[in-house]
Amino acid sequence: MSADSGANFPRIPASFVDPASRSAELARQERLHALSEEDRDLVRLAGDPLFGRWLEQITAVGGCAHPVYLSGTTITRDASTGEVVSSYSTADEPGERLAVRCRNRRATVCAPCSRLHAGDTFHLVRSGLVGGKSVPDAVRGRPRLFVTLTAPGFGPVHHTADGQRCRPRRDGPVCEHGRPLGCGQVHVDGDPLVGLPLCADCYDYVGHVLWHAHAGRLWDRFTTGVRRHLATAAEIPRSKLGRHVVVSFAKVAEYQRRAAVHFHAVVRLDGPAGPGDLPPAWATGELLAEAVRSAAAAASIRVPESHAFGTELLGMGRELDVRPIRAFGKDEGLSDDAVAAYVAKYVTKGAADTAMGLDHAVSGLDDIRAAPVPGHVRALMGTCWRLGGLAELEHLRLRAWAHTLGFRGHVLTKSRHYSTTYAALRAERADHQRHTGEEVGHLDTVTDAAWRYVGSGHTPGAALLAAGIAEDLATNSEIAREELAWSGEG
C-alpha cells in the first residue's frame, strides 16, 4: 500500500497538475475565460485562504442576498480591574469585514431576510393573541376580533364571482365613452382582467389615489371611533376610557386585485393595566364588534377644495368583515394561529410583489410609462404624479409615493399595548446567539465598540453561494418544522 496516497491533501484536478508547463497554463486560462462571470468569481472566492470563514459569515446571516459589511472592534473589560474579558476585531476576517443582515422584509429583495421578518411578524401578532414573548397567556381569554376594512368603490372592475358571470346586464347599456357597463364573462383566478376597470375613463383614479394618501389618517379616525363608541356605551367620558379598558390593534395593509389597499386587523380588549389585566364585564366581544361596525361606517376625511377635482369626502368601503377569534377548540370563529399566519404572510409582500407597484420611487412620467405593471396600476401612478404637482396636495408627497400608489403607511402597525416589538424579538435572538456562543462569567463588564460601514452586496459568485446557503437553511428549517409537527401530533 502506498503511504503517500495523499489522503490528507485536497484532490487536485488533473488540469491543474502541471502549472509550470506553458501549454497547460494556457489551457487553464482558456478554460477560465470560457467560464461565466459567476464561475470565474467562484474560482477566485474558493482560492481565498479565508474562504471557510467567509462561508461561516454568510451562513450566520442566513444567506442574506444583500449583506451590509462592517469593520471594527468590540472589547469587553472587567469593570473594576480594566482587564480585557473578551475582544473581537474584524482584522482577521475575510476582507477585514463582517457581514450583517440587510433585514429587508421584501421577498423580492432578500428571501432569507424576508423569511426572518415574516417569522418575527408571526410571533409579534401571535403573542398578542395567545401570549408568550413577555405577553401573559391570559390574552387568550380576552374579547378579540379579526377585522377587514376595505376601500370604497372607485368604479366597476372585473371580478371573479364564484363561477358566476362578472357583471351580467340584460339591456347592455354603455357608458358615456361607449363602453359596456356589463361583462358577461366568467373570470377565474389569475385572469389578467380581474381588478381592471370596465372603463378606465369612468374610473375615479383621483378618488382612489386620494383615498390611499389618507388611508393612515382614516385608520386613526376609525380607532378613535371604536374607543368613542365603547365610552358612550359604558357612559364613561371618552378621556376616562383608559381607566377602564384598553383597546389594542395590530393591522396589516394589503393590496387587493383592483390595486386598492385594505386593512386586516386584530382588535383586542384588555383591562386598564394592559395585556395582563382583565377588562370590565361590560366590555364584551359583541360590544367591540358593534363599536368596530359603527366606527368603520363613521370614519371620514374631507379633502379640501382643489381646482383639479373640487372636494372629496373619503370614507371606508361598505364591505366590512368582523369575525371573533376563537381561543379554544370548538368555539365559533377563526383560530388564533390561523390569524397570525395570515397576517405574517401579507407582511412579506410589498406593493412590488403583487405587481401593484414598484420597489423604488419613480423619477417622472417616463419612468411610470416604462414600469412593468398593469396599465391600471400605471394609471394610478400617473395620477399620483399629476396630483403631486398641485400645491394644495404637496403635503401628501404623492410623487415620492407614486410607486406605492400614494399609500404611505407601514405594512404592519400596532398599538403600544398589543404585544412585543420587532426590536425586542431581535434582541432576544441576538441574546440567544451570544449565549450559545462563549459564556462570560463576569458580572460587571464595560464594552467599547467602534464600527463603521464599509460596503454592501455580493459579487456574482458570492451571490450564487449565498442563495445556495439560504436554500439549504430554508429546507432544514422546513424539515425541522415538519418533524416538530409530527412529534407534536404523536
List of residues contacting Zn ion (CB under 5 A):
64, 101-102, 110, 113, 158, 166, 175, 177, 183, 185, 199, 201-202
Report in angstroms how near the CB of residue 453 gets to Zn ion at its nearest. 15
Q: Which is nearer to Zn ion, 128 or 382 (CB)?
A: 382
Is 143 within 8 Å of 271 (Cβ atoms)? no
Q: Which is nearer to Zn ion, 201 or 220 (CB)?
A: 201
Cell numbers that stand for 110 in this block: 432578500
Report in angstroms how near the CB of residue 476 gets to Zn ion at its nearest. 18
Q: Which is nearer to Zn ion, 113 or 303 (CB)?
A: 113
Q: Which is nearer to Zn ion, 162 or 235 (CB)?
A: 162
Report in angstroms how near the CB of residue 160 gets to Zn ion at its nearest. 9
Q: Which is nearer to Zn ion, 130 or 183 (CB)?
A: 183
Q: Which is nearer to Zn ion, 146 or 203 (CB)?
A: 203
Tell me how crowded residue 465 is: count the other CB atoms within 10 A of its CB: 22
Q: Which is nearer to Zn ion, 102 or 283 (CB)?
A: 102
Give CA–CA dist 127/135, Å, rounded.
Answer: 6
Give CA–CA dist 235/133, Å, rounded.
Answer: 35
Report in angstroms how near the CB of residue 357 gets to Zn ion at its nearest. 21
Q: Which is nearer to Zn ion, 178 or 304 (CB)?
A: 178
Report in angstroms how near the CB of residue 114 gets to Zn ion at its nearest. 8
Report in angstroms how near the CB of residue 158 gets to Zn ion at its nearest. 3
Cβ-closest position to Zn ion: 166
Report in angstroms how near the CB of residue 478 gets to Zn ion at its nearest. 19
Q: What are phi and psi of 95, to 5 degrees?
A: 65, 15
Report in angstroms how near the CB of residue 181 gets to Zn ion at its nearest. 8
Report in angstroms how near the CB of residue 280 gets to Zn ion at its nearest. 46
Q: Which is nearer to Zn ion, 114 or 223 (CB)?
A: 114
Q: Which is nearer to Zn ion, 56 or 201 (CB)?
A: 201
Single-letter residue type at 309: F
Report in angstroms how near the CB of residue 396 gets to Zn ion at its nearest. 27
Q: Which is nearer to Zn ion, 101 or 144 (CB)?
A: 101
* Closest-CA residue to 229 (of 147, 294, 318): 294
Q: What are phi and psi of 385, to 5 degrees?
A: -65, -45
Q: Which is nearer to Zn ion, 86 or 160 (CB)?
A: 160
Give CA–CA dist 187/183, Å, rounded.
Answer: 10
Give CA–CA dist 146/339, Å, rounded.
Answer: 8
Report in angstroms how near the CB of residue 399 gets to Zn ion at its nearest. 27
Report in angstroms how near the CB of residue 250 gets to Zn ion at its nearest. 24
